[in-house]
Amino acid sequence: MEERGFVVTRLPYGESEIDIPPGPGGEEDLLENWEECDDLAGFPEPVVFSDDDLSRMYDLQLERGECLRANGWEPAEAPSRQTYIEHYKLLQQGGSEQPPYDPAMDLAPAEANAARDACPEKSLADM
């Protein structure tokens, strides 16, 4: 998209934001180029997790929070399991820009990096 002249802003968690060009047809131009670039990049279809998968991911986050606490950090307060699942589903559908719950989300960047080293994030593949 940058090669096509669009202004791209990098955001935390590996996300980016692309500005809509000014003037009539700007949004249409953006969407058309976006689809073409997605096709050229060959991005895989996004994975849609089941409620069971999301429940297991929640358990992994709780375990990570326990690890952080055991290593001297105060993890972010966990939402309820149902809230976590509902938010993640909303995120998968593009209805939220907030990242999913991470026990290290409230730590300062340097602390978060040290916490990730001490308590690595796990995925469903680790179960």
pTM of the model: 0.64
Tell me, yes or no, whether 58 and 36 share the same domain. no
Domain assignment present for 116: yes
pLDDT at 1: 86
pLDDT in tens, 72-84: 999 999 999 999 9
- Is pLDDT at 10 greater than 90 in this prediction? no
Q: What is the DSSP string of 5-51?
A: T--EEE-GGG-EEEPPPSSTTHHHHHHHHHHHHHHHHTPPPPP---H
Kindly state whether residues 85 and 122 are assigned to the same domain.
yes
Q: How many domains does the chain have?
A: 2
Are 63 and 120 part of one and the same domain? Answer: yes
21 occurs within a structural domain: yes
pLDDT digits (tens, 9 = 90+) for 87-119: 999 988 877 778 889 999 999 988 988 998 999
Same domain, 33 and 58: no
Question: Does some domain include residue 73?
Answer: yes
* Parent domain of 102: 51-126
At residue 36, the pLDDT reads 87
pLDDT at 109: 86
